[in-house]
């Protein structure tokens, strides 16, 4: 006979929460190091390392120290890295010509990384802003960012990066038609196996500030709202995703991630290719700042944030938390 003091409840979900073993048994989503891409900042010089003041624990490194960092991360199980170049102003011009310099910092470092660590998966950034004297992702003429004129520059940049050993090309510029243009250029030059992770829904967000500190890549005039998306829009992300998918993208990315979990889910529900989320610099910085004040448990919040992106549908997460997360589970 049932205890007369017990209420007659057929379903008691708490039974599946009663101890750690059962909670682990029924857990729906898990974040592992296999899900993560670690963004790295490359700078000129030798034996140089400087912390990004707005991103505690994140450093700009010269190529020799970048190689050591990659090796250390691979020993923790991280196998995929997104490398961003920080160049001096003297190397920048209106057409981003330094992006094609085979002996330049970026391409020579990529070749050395692939030579030393052929098993590492290397992602690169395709946009003009790291190399542009205007600081914009596209070619500027008379104060306007020109779409079609930019595509040829981006395609040459992508081919140069593929020649240097890039495994995944990441067009982050948000120019119309660039995925198809780059895909054709890669294929025509014998790089049909190089993947494209398109920055599909890249929003004109306030969360990018620390990244621009890291690379000194802020636009010299205006903003990026004529090519990056309006944070108010989600249906527009479906249009961008449909275009990128049909132009040959292998991954569709949402950037930023934390304030756009609905967009991650929207793309995951509508496209049968992997969805990536970029857990951006501002999201990282907020956690670090609050944790430093003792207002939150930084490790638990980090894990919860990454899990929210996985739960929303991201199978790939680019995050500055990658190394410390890997250490925490090692």
Catalytic (active-site) positions? 202, 255
| Residue 261 CB coordination number (10 Å) | 18
Closest CA to 196 of 250, 123, 246: 250
| Largest separation between any pair of C-alpha atoms in the chain | 85
Task: Give me 318's structure tokens.
Answer: 């680019």
Q: What is the DSSP letter of 271?
A: -
Distance CA 253, CA 5 (A): 53
> SS3 for 281?
helix
Q: Collect all residues with Cβ–Cβ distance below 8 Å to 230 and sequence separation of at least 6.
A: 203, 204, 236
Radius of gyration of the chain (CA): 21
At what angle are helices 105-116 and 63-75 packed, to 10 degrees? 40
Q: Which residues contact 23 (CB under 8 A, 6 or more apart)?
A: 16, 17
Structure tokens at 4: 């007369």
Distance of alpha carbon 76 from alpha carbon 290, whole angstroms: 26
């Amino acid at each position: 006979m049932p205890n007369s003091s017990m209420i007659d409840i057929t379903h008691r979900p708490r039974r599946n929460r009663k101890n750690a073993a059962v909670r682990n048994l029924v857990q729906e989503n898990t974040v592992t190091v296999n899900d993560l891409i670690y963004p790295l900042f490359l700078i000129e010089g030798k034996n140089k390392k400087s912390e990004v003041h707005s991103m505690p624990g994140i450093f700009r490194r010269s190529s020799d120290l970048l190689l050591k960092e990659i090796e250390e991360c691979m020993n923790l199980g991280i196998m995929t890295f997104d490398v961003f170049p920080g160049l001096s102003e003297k190397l920048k011009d209106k057409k981003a010509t330094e992006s094609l310099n085979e002996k330049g910092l970026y391409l020579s470092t990529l070749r050395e990384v692939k030579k030393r660590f052929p098993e590492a998966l290397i992602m690169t950034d395709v946009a003009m802003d790291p190399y542009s004297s205007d600081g914009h992702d596209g070619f500027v003429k008379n104060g306007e960012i020109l779409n079609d004129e930019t595509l040829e520059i981006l395609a040459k940049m992508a081919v140069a990066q593929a020649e240097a050993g890039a495994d995944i090309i990441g067009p982050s510029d948000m120019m119309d038609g660039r995925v198809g243009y780059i895909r054709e250029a890669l294929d025509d030059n014998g790089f049909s196996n190089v993947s494209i992770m398109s920055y599909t829904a890249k929003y004109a967000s306030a969360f990018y500030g620390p990244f621009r500190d890291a690379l000194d890549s802020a636009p010299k005039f205006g903003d990026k709202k004529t090519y990056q998306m309006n944070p108010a829009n989600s249906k527009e992300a479906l249009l961008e995703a449909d275009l990128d998918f049909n132009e040959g993208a292998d991954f569709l990315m949402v950037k930023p991630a934390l304030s756009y979990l609905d967009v991650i889910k929207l793309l995951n529900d509508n496209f049968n290719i992997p969805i990536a989320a970029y857990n951006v610099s501002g999201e990282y910085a907020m956690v670090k700042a609050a944790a430093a004040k003792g207002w939150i448990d930084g490790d638990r919040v980090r894990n919860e944030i990454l899990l929210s992106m996985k739960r929303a549908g991201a199978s790939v997460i680019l995050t500055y938390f990658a190394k410390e997360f890997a250490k925490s589970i090692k």
